[in-house]
Structure 1
Amino acid sequence: MVVYIDILLIENFIINLFLLLITLKALRYKYYKSIYIAALFGALYTLIIFMDNKILVSLPFKIIVVLLMIIISTKNLKIIKVLKSSVVFILMSFTLCGFTFAFSMIDNSNSIFEKFSINKYSIKYLIISVMILYIVSVRVTEYLRDRNLLNNFIYDIEIFNGKKSIFIKGLLDTGNALREPVTNLPCIIVESDFFNDLELNSNNEFLIPYSTIGEDGLLKGFKSKDIRIRGEDKKWRNVEVILCECKNKLSKENDFNALLSRGVI
């Protein structure tokens, strides 16, 4: 029998990813993009069939591989959750094996007086296609849900700068209560690139103390009345805030370039 390693790895990657998704979805556990690494790790493990090593093919070692796949997917080291996920993963695997074996009996004749062998399995690719469809639909659904949730907290910000207006996108950070202590005005943190286009008056400069987990310091800010924001209601309203400069990129995907404290809203 001829075995194509690339096809073997691709098929096992899809199956592992499918099993990991339905396992973690069933348990409602959070998983990360590392789930693809876990699925690939499980696929690479199938290459041990070409090795004559009884330890690697033993049941304890297989269980260790499952545990590692769960840990990689969830980035969780809590023993109870890892063991629970692993048990459900193994049960899902057994169910899938029984399901696929039942279909293999349809494609191959069998008799109680002869040994059973699988010579053809035409429905295999149909099953794999269903798995791919499930994986894609889950990913698309999660992406659309995350985008929709993000859009609910995105605000349009217009900053008047003399004869010029600057438009940026701001994310409402509900856990951010940053205010300038003297004026008690809320703050909008803006990426430093946009400050290059602003003509700011040094007389309105403030130093705002801030504190986060493991870090504290001072933010340079400027008072401005020529700012208005627009949310879901599509109505512009003027706000009096302190603009604070941020040297870091706030969004890798460039979805927003500013952070609004809840006091702005």
Structure 2
Amino acid sequence: MVIYIDILLIENFIVNLFLLLITLKVLRYKYYKTIYIAAILGSLYTLVLFMNNKILASLPFKLIVVLLMLIVSTRSFKILRIVKSSITFMIMSFTLCGFTFAFSIMENYYSIFEGVKIENYSIKYLLISVMMLYIFIVRVSDYVRDRALVNNFIYDIEIINDKKSIFIKGLLDTGNALREPVSNLPCIIIESDFLNSFNIKSSDEFLIPYSTIGEEGNLKGFKTKEVRIRGEDKEWKDVEVIICKCKNKLSKENEFNALLSRGVI
């Protein structure tokens, strides 16, 4: 029997990814892109079959691999969560093995005295295709749901100052409560490149103290004549805010260029 290592690894990668997604979806646990690394780890473990090593092929070592796969997928080290997800993963694995064995008996000769010998298993690729379709649907649905969630918090922003205006998109940061301490006005953080056309006098600038995990400092801000925002209702709303400059890029995909504190809405 000829075994192609590359095909074996790809097939096991698909099966592992399918089982991981099913497990974490059932438990409603959050998973990350590292789930692909976990699936690769499980796929590489199949190479143990060719090493004839009893220790690596033992049940305790298999359980360790399962634990590592789930830790990598969820980035969680909570013992109860890991144990629960590991048990669910093994139940899903046994269920899938039962289904595949049942299908294999349908295509191969089976005898109570001679056992079963699998020589033909054409339905394997149908099962793998179903797994790939499920993986694709899950990823697309997750992407669409995430995009819809982000879009709900995206606002149009128009800033007018001395006959100059800019039009950008901003993300409502519900965890951001940044305010100018004297006027108590909420702040909008905008990438500094969009504010280069504004001539701001130093006497009109504000210093807004901020504090994040592991970092403290002051942001330079200014108050402009007119700021309007527009959300899903498509109606413009005048707001009184302090505009703060930010040197960093706020969105890698350039989906928004400003952050609104929750006091703006």
Distance across 2 between alignment mates of 1:174 and 1:52: 55
**Which residue is 2:198 aligned to?**
198
The secondary structure found in structure 2 opposite 1:240 is coil
String of CA shifts for 1:48-82, please: whole Å, max 9, x gaps. Answer: 11112111101111010001001000111111111
* Larger mean Cα displacement after TM superposition, 188-197 or 146-155: 188-197
Distance across 1 between alignment mates of 2:65 and 2:181: 54
The residue identity in structure 2 corresponding to 1:217 is: G
String of CA shifts for 1:164-208, please: whole Å, max 9, x gaps. Answer: 431111011112111111122111001122122323233310101
* Larger mean Cα displacement after TM superposition, 191-200 or 181-190: 191-200
The secondary structure found in structure 2 opposite 1:165 is strand
**Which residue is 2:260 aligned to?**
260
Contact 1:201 1:222 in 2 (8 A): no
The secondary structure found in structure 2 opposite 1:52 is coil
* Larger mean Cα displacement after TM superposition, 108-117 or 61-70: 108-117
Contact 1:189 1:243 in 2 (8 A): yes
Distance across 2 between alignment mates of 1:225 and 1:148: 33
Unaligned runs of 5+ in 1: none
Name the TM-score, length of structure 1 as normaliser.
0.97
**Which residue is 1:123 aligned to?**
123
The secondary structure found in structure 2 opposite 1:126 is helix
The secondary structure found in structure 2 opposite 1:249 is coil
Name the TM-score, length of structure 2 as normaliser.
0.97
Contact 1:225 1:241 in 2 (8 A): no
Offset, 1:161 = 4.2
Unaligned runs of 5+ in 2: none
**Which residue is 1:180 aligned to?**
180
The residue identity in structure 2 corresponding to 1:119 is: E
**Which residue is 2:146 aligned to?**
146
| Identity, % of aligned positions | 75
Report matched runs for 1:10-49 at 5 Å.
10-49=10-49
Distance across 2 between alignment mates of 1:188 and 1:231: 15
Distance across 1 between alignment mates of 2:175 and 2:163: 34
Distance across 1 between alignment mates of 2:115 and 2:257: 67
The residue identity in structure 2 corresponding to 1:90 is: M
**CA RMSD of superposed structures (Å):** 1.2
Offset, 1:163 = 4.1
Runs of 4+ with >3 A deviation: 161-164
Offset, 1:236 = 1.2
Contact 2:161 2:225 in 1 (8 A): no
Contact 1:191 1:258 in 2 (8 A): yes
Aligned residues: 265
Distance across 2 between alignment mates of 1:47 and 1:163: 68
